[in-house]
Structure 1
Amino acid sequence: MSKEEYLKSLSDCVFEMEDEKVVTVAEEYLREGHSALDGINLGLVDGMNRAGALYEQEEYFVTDLLLCSDAMYNGLDVLKPHLQSETAEGEEPIPAVIGVVQGDTHDIGKNLVKIMFETAGFTMYDLGRDVPIEAFVDKAQEVNARLICLSTLMTTTMIGMQRVVELLKERGLYGKIKVMIGGGPVSKNFCDKIGADAYTGSAMEAVRVAKMLLNGEPIPAS
């Protein structure tokens, strides 16, 4: 098969909940010498995005998404060890804290962002899901993080993102520690409203924006 055919097959495995077949396809894909990063972004993540679109159209249910994510994670287990870090020799990894805000247990998107950031040379301190607000700021202070990444898929928990920003202000850390937010119900308008530093809609975009943010470069309007 061509690389494009392999990518389509990886996407289909996730979309069609083929949690065993995806392992075989991912292994064959690597044996052919193809990029692990492309396999994740253009294969596995594409399949998850397709499933998410059907979920929004109410053709897939939560149970379907969970089965799709099982397939995606099986594929990730094969591809992730072959990712090449982009950290330049002699360059210190950038510490960042990531987690899903309190009240939400959906962590598929957060996990993808974490993988992309680690590949890009960040040291990620993953607090998991349903994380208390103070834990984000406490951990950021403990590890001297330059960035906090917040995720949620529930509108009812978006207020937690605002509380993290407010807590940074209370501790005199606002502006010193940047805040990036993402997730299904989150938007650029909400980001601006709460005073977060950046919003992104995808894992790959998050890495690009994070580097611009930390380098003091202006973030282009999305």
Structure 2
Amino acid sequence: MRRRPGIGGLQNAATARDQYRLLGENVAKIRTDLMKEQLATFRSQLEEFARKHKNDIRKNPAFRSQFHEMCAKVGVDPLASNKGFWAELLGIGDFYYELGVQIVDICLATRPHNGGLINLQELCNVLCQRRKSDRGGVSEDDCLRAISKLKAQGFVTVDEVERRLSWTSGRAIDALDTLLDEGLAMIDDGHRDGKRRYWFPCVSSISTSVADT
């Protein structure tokens, strides 16, 4: 008959399991710390790369697209905010915001001909024609990122459009009122700051700046 393990054997087995568990936790922690250290190094190198090549990032669409891919690999989103390091260094957040407004304007202008639906390549061509040559080219990737940024925006104010696009108050109001007339926006009054919000119900908002209502 096979003998059952005694109390001492059970205690030894439990101790061994605890030791294996602690060893596994230590190995996992070492790997996690190493990955964090590597990511921090990559991000530091990415920042240095951006400083060195900021003009190419701003003006060269292909270079800009590759830069976004590099950022994604280390968990960096230069478009996440219009403030902070990336906004101050590159200003690409405002670039995509401006591009998004121009895309909306083109869709409205071509709506009688295509119902507001335009081929991505054609959209890029029209954008390149409208923008000044010293601003550099625009790629399909730029258009998609600009549209994505508009989705995250959710709403805008007249002051915001004036500041980001360097438009006069009259031009900003005319553009936003056109969106209202076309049924693409809704107005939201009654905020403490007295500023009217122009909401775009066709997109979802992740903005929390309306918490002051």
Greater helix share, structure number: 2
State TM-score, norm by structure 1. Answer: 0.32
The answer to which structure has the higher strand fraction is 1
Tell me which structure has the larger Cα radius of gyration: 2
